[in-house]
């Protein structure tokens, strides 16, 4: 049975790249969202196994989405990897404090997303 991975990013190019890369692996099924509220709605209805979550999004940022998902008993167990263009230690600590399980810096290679997903999901 495949694991569902949600990719949340306001940049269409990133969503498409991630969806294709993750979807090529037989153990993974990729779905996408363009903003925080959509991501929360998808997590509540689909309950993905893993979320790759961009930090810098208009409106509701990734930190807010992460806190909301971790505060809701229905979605608290979903693993979250934040995606950030900022490699500063403070940004990473803030993401982990918001409840993220891990983080990745942009830019990244598509294979890195797949490797991270497989490692976190134990596939």
Dump pLDDT digits (tens) for 24-68.
999 999 999 999 999 999 999 999 999 999 999 999 999 999 999
Per-residue pLDDT at 91 exceeds 90: no
Task: Name all domains of the chain by residue range, CATH numbers in brackets.
Answer: 3-121 (3.40.50.2300)
How far apart are alpha carbons 95 and 30 in whole angstroms?
22
Q: Which of the four pLDDT bands, split at 50, 70 and 90, describes residue 80?
A: very high
**β-bridge mates for residue 30, sequence order:** 5
pTM of the complete model: 0.95
Per-residue pLDDT at 92 exceeds 90: no
How far apart are alpha carbons 69 and 90 in whole angstroms?
21
Per-residue pLDDT at 87 exceeds 80: no
Per-residue pLDDT at 104 exceeds 90: yes
Q: Are 94 and 33 in contact (CB under 8 A)?
A: no
């Amino acid at each position: 049975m495949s694991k569902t991975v949600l990719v949340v990013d306001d940049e269409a190019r990133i969503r498409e790249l991630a969806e294709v890369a993750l979807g090529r692996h037989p153990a993974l099924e990729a779905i996408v969202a363009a903003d925080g509220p959509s991501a929360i709605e998808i997590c509540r209805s689909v309950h993905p196994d893993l979320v790759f979550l961009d930090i810098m999004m208009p409106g509701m940022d990734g930190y807010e989405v992460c806190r909301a998902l971790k505060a809701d008993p229905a979605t608290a167990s979903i693993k979250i990897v934040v995606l950030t263009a900022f490699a500063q230690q403070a940004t990473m600590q803030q993401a982990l404090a918001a409840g993220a399980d891990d983080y990745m810096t942009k830019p990244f290679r598509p294979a890195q997303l797949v490797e991270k997903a497989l490692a976190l999901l134990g596939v």
